[in-house]
Chain A
Amino acid sequence: MERTFQGIGVSPGVARGTIYVFSVAEEVVPEYDVKPEDVARELGRFEQALIATRQQLHELQARIATGIGSAAPSSILEVHLSLTEDPALIEQVTARLESDMKNVEFVFHDVARKYIRTMQELPDEFFRERAVDVQDVTRRILRNLLGREQRLLSNLPPDTIVLAYDLAPSDTSALDREHVIGFATDVGSHTSHTAIMARSTDLPAVVGLHNASEHVHDGQMAILDGYSGTLIVEPTQQTLFIYGQLEVKRHSLQERLDGLRDLPAETLDGHRIAISGNIELPDDVPALSRVGAEGIGLFRTEFLYLEKDEMPDEQAQFEAYSKVAKGAHPHAVIIRTLDLGGDKLPAGEKIPSESNPFLGLRGIRYCLANPGIFQTQLRAILRASADRNVRIMYPMISGVAEVTQANELLESVKHDLRQEGLPFDEEIQVGAMIEVPSAALTAEMLAGEVDFFSIGSNDLIQYTMAVDRVNERVANLYEPTHPAILRLIRNCVESAHNNGLWVGVCGEIAGDPIYVPLLVGMGVDELSVGAANLPRIKEVIRRLTYREAQEVAAASLHTNNGCDVLAMLNALIQRIDPDLLG
């Protein structure tokens, strides 16, 4: 029987295929009493679970060794293997079994949780982060104890729609890119990993489906609609027919958009905007080339780190950056230095090791607090810049001092490279990401220290409005058109232009057709968006005059509430090209 789940469409497109349920919500761990004579049996189950876990880890190790060919991930598996035979852990579980007389999964879950909590409270961040390894392994052991199978995202049948409670970077690093055609998750938002990854791989995605993963089974046929944010399981003939019609319509739009590939993003009256792409992984570059991106406006480097679970060495980073720089040549690549913290924690575990991670040690703060890691990355970026198409961007800048400090480290790294005779771009452009209100307000002062600004609108809006938009109770207050946001953006653009800098927007609003006339009208020079959104952004620009964009921007800045601005923008886009909102 047909069943529809409503979520949030976060990456456009429609996929028709077979469901693969990757994960469900947190495992439910039963608790019951056992008799003294059953303790031996419970211990036996524990031993079997540990053996099974070790075998799975060995298999994973073999697969990574043949697949990725890097030593880094298998070294973390060594750590995981070692955890499965940890005598302290085994002794504690054994002792607790004998004293508590509870079933082994309950005891194990409790012991593991205490370890994880203790690790999360270690004062040193670097050690604290390793709690994710303990969590990863103990979850694996627990699943084996509970008799649940471990699922993978590699080697899937063709036309697979992945349905999961949530997807973490560690899950998707081994993704079968050939056979997966869409993603659906129970939780998440426009800015969660699933959404970002789907947009950069140009696949449809729907998040926020609540409890869909509990009601849908492997092998069920489904339609995933990334436009309307729906997952339709076992669709009827009628639904299939309707989708067939819609596909024809979208196909003709798509053909029109495909035709734009080699045309410039230029308004009807000749104002040129640069449109570049946001990427997560070096493998995302070809998708951008296919849609005619003018370079890469945001290369998020933390995924290098997150998928391997530890910082790759300079050479591995250099190779990854060089690959992207070569792939984008002659266009430029803006490499954003590590932006860990906040919602991006190693191995994707959303454990707040700080009581308020979004206001904690993240972005440039993390880098300045870990100069060793930062300098290694800067060295790798500089070495990849020899062809002069690489730029550096610092995330989460909140004031001038951070930029100065980061630039000093950059200069020292340049000095070392000169000494060693290694080539790099002496005039490499350096930019600040503007995503903290204090930076947006002091853009004039920051302008003296950098070559460009890139506005990270997701965080800028979140921090300015004091709204976590993943929180359903306040998400309605997340308003990109709020007068405060418009003023901050205007201030950035004016400060940049007064000082001869260029300014881009790399947040989500850059990829949404409705906000594009506003951004263009305010004078933004560059928009950096996911590959999936790029053609429609170009289409908006090509159907607009710079004059009407400036008029709508000026009118928006005189409007005292965001809803009216949105209505105005909506009317404009309806007039230009209503199909684009499809």
Chain B
Amino acid sequence: MTIFRQTPESGGAQVATKEVTVINKLGIHARPAALFVKVASKFDSSIIVEREGEQINGKSIMGLMMLAAGAGSQLKLIAEGRDAEDAVAELEKLFQRKFDEE
């Protein structure tokens, strides 16, 4: 069992970006953040989440919680790597599904 992650491969890099809005009532609090990280970590691509110019590692729950993205926040998802398009598409669905909260 290993916990330390491999540095994501950025060879053959594609970049995908998507603007999303937080529509679940409670925002990206702990549980949605954990869900986001779980999905983001399935992909090889690096994932960046940007809010009002601030960027964090989308595979870091700490980073996501610190963004304090409440309902209505506008976020930008930036994926870079061979599966960037898929990563962004799947993460966007989480927002649309309101993180299965409501």
Contact = CB atoms under 8 A, between A and B. Distances in A.
B4 to A, nearest CB: 6
Contacts of B70: 124, 126-127
A75 B62 contact: no
B17 interface: no
A441 interface: no
Given A115-B62, A127-B65, A372-B25, A79 B33 contact: yes
B91 interface: no
Interface stretch (A46-54, A148-156, A244-252, A507-515): A46-54
B4 A119 contact: no
Interface stretch (A18-26, A84-92, A163-171, A256-264): A84-92
Interface in B19-48: 25-27, 29-31, 33-35, 37-38
A86 B3 contact: no
Given A54-B3, A123-B68, A310 B31 contact: yes
A83 interface: yes
B51 to A, nearest CB: 12
B33 A119 contact: no
A76 interface: yes
Given A78-B34, A127-B29, A83 B4 contact: no
A306 to B, nearest CB: 15
Contacts of B34: 75, 78-79, 81-82
A82 B37 contact: yes
Contacts, number: 79
A82 B4 CA distance: 13
B61 A79 contact: yes
Contacts of A83: 61-62
A305 to B, nearest CB: 14
Contacts of B63: 86, 88
Contacts of B5: 85, 87, 90
A114 to B, nearest CB: 11
A504 B11 CA distance: 72
Interface string A38-75: 00000000010011001000000000000000000001
A85 B3 contact: yes
Contacts of A75: 31, 34
A499 to B, nearest CB: 39
A312 to B, nearest CB: 13
A490 interface: no
Given A54-B3, A88-B56, A310 B66 contact: no
Nearest to B35: A78
Contacts of A84: 3
A122 B4 contact: no
A367 to B, nearest CB: 16
B60 A88 contact: yes
Given A79-B34, A119-B66, A130 B29 contact: yes
Contacts of B30: 76, 79, 130, 133, 310
A134 interface: yes
A82 B38 contact: yes
A404 interface: no
Contacts of B56: 88
Interface string A82-117: 111111111000000000000000000000000100
Given A78-B34, A90-B4, A126 B26 contact: yes
B59 interface: yes
A435 B61 CA distance: 40
A122 B66 contact: yes
Contacts of A412: none
A86 B29 contact: no
Nearest to B5: A87
Contacts of B65: 119, 127, 130, 134
B23 to A, nearest CB: 14
Q: Which of A83, A90, A115 has the most CB of B within 10 A?
A: A83
A82 B3 contact: no
A115 B63 CA distance: 10
A118 interface: yes
A88 B3 contact: no
B57 A87 contact: yes
A88 B33 contact: no
Interface in B55-77: 56-57, 59-63, 65-66, 68, 70
Interface of A: 47, 50-51, 54, 75-76, 78-79, 81-90, 115, 118-119, 122-124, 126-127, 130, 133-134, 310, 372
25 contacts: A54-B3, A75-B34, A78-B31, A78-B34, A79-B34, A81-B34, A82-B37, A83-B61, A84-B3, A86-B37, A86-B62, A87-B5, A87-B57, A88-B57, A88-B62, A89-B60, A90-B3, A90-B5, A119-B65, A122-B66, A126-B27, A127-B65, A130-B65, A133-B30, A134-B62
Interface of B: 1-5, 25-27, 29-31, 33-35, 37-38, 56-57, 59-63, 65-66, 68, 70
Given A90-B4, A122-B68, 12 more contacts: A47-B3, A47-B4, A75-B31, A76-B31, A78-B31, A78-B34, A79-B34, A82-B37, A83-B62, A88-B62, A126-B26, A130-B65
